[in-house]
Amino acid sequence: MAITAIPMLLSLYLSFTDYDVLTPLSEINWVGWANYERMFTTDPSYWHAVTVTLTFALIAVPLKLAAALGVALLLSRAIRGIGLFRGLFYLPSLLGGSVALAIVWVSMFNRDGAFNSFLALFGIEGAPWVNDPSWALETLMVLAIWQFGAPMVIFLAGLKQVPAELYEAASVDGAGPWRQFRNITLPMLSPVIFFNLVLETIHGFQGFTSAFVLSNGTGGPVDSTLMYTLNLYIKGFVELDMGYASAMAWVFLVVIGLITVVLFRTGRFWVHYSDSEER
Amino acid sequence: MRGRLRLLTLLAILAVVLYPLVWMVGTAFKSPQEIVNNIGLIPREFTPGNFTEGWHKLDVNFGRFFLNSAMVAVLAVLGNTVSCLLAAFAFGRLKFRLRKVWFAVMIGTLLLPGHVLIIPQYILFRTLGWVGGDWPYLPLVVPHFLATEAFFVFLMVQFMRGIPRELDEAAKIDGASPYSIFQHVILPLSRPALVTTAIFSFIWTWNDFFRQLVYLSDLEDYTAPVALTLFIDSTSESSVGPMFAMSLLSLIPVFLFFVAFQRMLVEGINTSGLKG
């Protein structure tokens, strides 16, 4: 606990100073709100990183959850070898966060990478995805979506909890598969969807490794993959502007906290807990 | 008919999902010429050349990086299992002041994004003189011994709730102290949760990059992921093969864990995720 709380408070203090790692703590200067002012008004890279991160999270997270739910639904009806399928779909979630996989991913979407060779079979000339500012972030999104296995496993467990009688009753009443999905599966699964949404959103905001590998730590091409955490790394550990980086970390914390609160608040309107209804 | 359609759809999705992995393995065994000419998945000729070249490509050979990675991961496993079990025992079984408050604080840190902590922790460890010290792994290892991974503490508390309290009480009547209750009742019965913690600690630490990047500055101290990034600088045609070979090697430990403990991993994320 101390290893979390004390540094947090220390960094809150430092976010009001010009601490640059090299000067001893006794000689740093109090600069008031200067770091925060710089962040919100004079540093364009800050807002750019915020936009990149939001774009990434807003597109990749819903698509990843949709993929997870879709495959979970396909898998949920008794099928032979479900254990094997489940395991293999889960594999990318285990490996995908590593540097090694990010490297493979970047090579795959190079100008002469495997993806363009594949497109060439159909006579399409692909873009140099990872070196193209308008496509680089998209390749990272695809990498994130590719790791849909972890939320899928959680969805599968959730689907198992839905009582089969509900579907039987609905079939008797003549409800088709779509109506069953809308009126039984979705509401019954909403707590699990909510859980996955919170988890993946927090996760999505923190994407670092793949952006670092793609841009070799610069956030390029043309800052197109400058995720918030990568920007934080550059400011704090490359430019050694620790006071400023502390301020960025604190704003990040507050924003993620706010987003979590908002998710929980809106969750009241669509998350359906069966036990609360019985009371 | 519908079942067959579903199976075909699943197989198609699976093929897309597994393609990058298979492609990586294939490319790692291709000769430099084949990497350029042969866009197929499987090399016409399997050559181990990339592995020997990649192993010696940097000034320090890759064995060293793997050893460093393994050391950090093993210490993290040790630290997490021991410290999180003790913390969970305290939360789950002992009575102390403000227990509920502390538990809430602990759960709060679960939602705290790990990357936010990097800067404050770095400053703390720097002030303590641990950054770039004699043993640069201190900042990477010590937090694991202080039960900072709330996720595992939570997982174990949840697990301990399932251990009948009657066992504790029976032991207490027989005159057992909290220490011997821990040693003879809780510890042996918590084994499944310990194993889950150990596996996830290993995989997460092995895959971790941000922290290792920040704290390790000398080439010979590098762990495998940090060393791999050095390959990116030189993405000429000739270095793709060695880069893939080393990437592949670095994924093998995690893959072996996956093969050995597949069921447990899948069930692990279920229990930890859903019982909350």
A209 touching B (Cβ < 8 Å): yes
pLDDT band at B249 (very low <50, low <70, confident <90, very high): very high
Q: Is A3 on the interface with B (CB under 8 A)?
A: yes
Domain assignment present for residue A21? The answer is no
First to last CA, chain B: 40
Which is more confidently placed, A1 or A101?
A101
The C-alpha of B180 sits at a distance from chain A's nearest C-alpha, in angstroms, of 26
Asked if the Cβ–Cβ distance from B124 to A6 is below 8 Å, we say yes
Residue listed under structure tokens 């990749």: A60
Of A3, A86, A232, the CB nearest to B146: A3
Whether A240 maps to a domain, the answer reads no
What is the average pLDDT across B80-85?
92
Q: Is residue B234 part of a domain?
A: yes
Query: How far is A213 from A86, CA to CA, in rounded Å?
Result: 29
Q: Is the pLDDT of residue B144 over 50?
A: yes
Q: B68 and B40 in one domain?
A: no
pLDDT for B3-19, tens place per residue? 788 889 999 999 999 99
Instruction: Quote the CA–CA distance of B213 and B136 in Å, as a whole number.
Output: 12
Which of B115, B209, B250, B254 should be substituted to probe chain A, the one whose Cβ sees the most A Cβ atoms within 10 Å?
Answer: B115
Q: 3-class SS at A17?
A: strand
**Shortest alpha-carbon distance between residue B73 and chain A (Å):** 14
pLDDT confidence band for B1 (50 / 70 / 90)? low
Task: Indicate the residue of A108, A153, A213 with minimum beta-carbon distance to B269.
Answer: A153
Going by pLDDT thresholds of 50, 70 and 90, the confidence category of residue B269 is low
User: What is the rounded average pLDDT of the residues A100-124?
Assistant: 86
Give the confidence band of B275 by pLDDT, cuts at 50, 70, 90.
Answer: very low
Taking CA atoms, A81 is separated from A77, A87, A159, A253, B64, in Å, by 12, 10, 17, 43, 40
Non-local CB neighbours of A49 within 8 Å, separated by 6+ positions: A219, A223, A226, A227, A228, A230, A231
The answer to whether residue A146 neighbours chain B at the CB level (below 8 Å) is: yes
Q: Is residue B53 part of a domain?
A: no
State the pLDDT confidence band at B235, using cuts at 50, 70 and 90: low
- Using an 8 Å CB-CB cutoff, list chain B residues near A246: 119-120, 123
Phi, psi of B61 (to 5 degrees): -80, 160
Structure tokens at B205: 């630490």
Residues of chain A contacting residue B254, judged by C-beta atoms under 8 Å apart: 94-95, 98
- When pLDDT is cut at 50, 70 and 90, the band that residue B133 belongs to is confident
**Which whole number is the average pLDDT over A100-119?**
86
Neighbours of A160 (CB within 10 A): 10
What is the percent of chain B with per-residue pLDDT over 70, rounded to a whole number?
93
Please say if the pLDDT value at position B270 is more than 70: no
Tell me the average pLDDT across A222-233: 92
Residue B272's CB is within 10 A of a number of other CB atoms, namely 21
Please report the number of interchain residue pairs, chain A to chain B, with beta-carbon separation below 8 angstroms.
Answer: 205
Q: Count how many Cα atoms sit within 13 Å of the Cα of residue B141 in the half-sphere of its side chain.
A: 15
Terminal Cα-to-Cα distance of chain A (whole angstroms): 37
**In angstroms, what separates the C-alpha of B139 from chain A's closest C-alpha?**
11
Whole-angstrom distance, CA of residue A208 vs CA of residue B98: 37
* Residue B254 and residue B179 share a domain: yes
Tokens of A3: 């290893």
Q: DSSP assignment of B215-240, as one string?
A: H--SGGG--HHHHHHHHHTT--GGGH
Altogether, the residues listed in chain B come to a count of: 276
Residues of B in contact with A88 (CB under 8 A): 14, 17-18
Measured between CB atoms, which of A10, A85, A87 is closest to B120? A10
Q: Do B243 and A103 touch (CB under 8 A)?
A: yes
Residue A54 belongs to what H/E stretch? helix A44-76
Average pLDDT over residues A214-230: 89
Rounded to 5 degrees, what angle do the CA atoms B130, B133, B136 make? 80
Q: Is B194 exposed, middle or buried (0-12, 13-18, 19+ CB in 10 A)?
A: buried
Residue range B198-225, pLDDT digits in tens: 988 999 999 999 999 999 989 999 999 9
Q: Which domain holds residue A133?
A: 46-227
CA distance A131 to A215: 9
Residue with tokens 């919100």: A40
| Alpha carbon of B163: minimum distance to chain A alpha carbons (Å) | 23
Which pLDDT value is given to residue B240?
A: 84
Q: Given this model, what pLDDT does residue B165 score?
A: 86
> Does residue B101 belong to any structural domain of this protein?
yes
Whether A150 has its CB under 8 Å from any CB of chain B: the answer is yes
Gap between the Cα atoms of B192 and A69, Å rounded: 28
Same domain, B176 and B225: yes
Q: What is the CA radius of gyration of chain A?
A: 23
Q: Residue B236 has what pLDDT?
A: 58
CA distance A203 to chain B (A): 8
More confident residue, A89 or B265: A89
Query: Per the CB < 8 Å rule, is B269 touching A150?
Result: yes
Question: Domains in chain A: how many in total?
Answer: 1
Q: Where are the alpha helices (DSSP H) in A96-239?
A: 99-108, 114-121, 136-146, 149-160, 164-172, 177-180, 186-205, 209-215, 228-233
In a domain, A50, yes or no: yes
Chain A residues touching residue B148 (CB < 8 angstroms)? 1, 3-4
| CA distance linking residue A91 with residue A105, whole number of Å | 15
Whether residue A275 lies inside any domain: the answer is: no
Same domain, B40 and B69: no
Q: In this structure, are B36 and B114 located in the same domain? A: no
In the predicted model, what is the mean pLDDT of residues A110-121? 82
Do B209 and A99 lie within an 8 Å CB cutoff? yes
Is A15 among the domain residues? Answer: no
Q: Please check whether residue A271 lies inside any domain of the structure.
A: no
Of A21, A88, A208, the CB nearest to B126: A21
Q: Please count the structural domains in chain B.
A: 2
> Does position B65 have pLDDT exceeding 90, yes or no?
yes
Q: Report CA-CA distances (Å) from B4 to A83, A108, A164, B79.
A: 18, 32, 22, 48
The label of the residue with tokens 């790990």 reads: B114
pLDDT of B272 > 70? The answer is: no
H or E element that contains B110: helix B99-111
- Domain of B33 in residue numbering reads as 2-47
Question: Are the C-beta atoms of residues B140 and A30 closer than 8 Å to each other?
Answer: no
Contact B10 A75 (CB under 8 A): yes
CATH value at residue A127: 1.10.3720.10
Tell me if A128 sits within 8 A of A110, measured CB to CB.
Answer: yes
Of A100, A209, A219, nearest to B228 by C-alpha is: A100
Provide, as residue numbers in chain B, all residues whose Cβ is less than 8 Å from the Cβ of A103: 228, 231-232, 243-244, 247
Residue position matching structure tokens 């020997």: B52
Tens digit of pLDDT for each residue in A19-60?
A: 887 777 777 888 888 999 998 988 999 999 999 999 999 999
Q: What is the pLDDT of residues B162-185, one digit of tens each?
A: 888 888 888 889 888 888 888 888
CATH number at residue B195: 1.10.3720.10
The ipTM is 0.86
B122 and A209 in contact by Cβ < 8 A? no
B44 and B29 Cβ atoms separated by less than 8 Å: no
**Does residue B222 sit in the same domain as residue B259?**
yes
A264 belongs to a structural domain = no
For A165-181, write each residue's pLDDT tens digit: 888 899 898 888 889 89
Residues of A within 8 A of B245 (CB-CB) are none
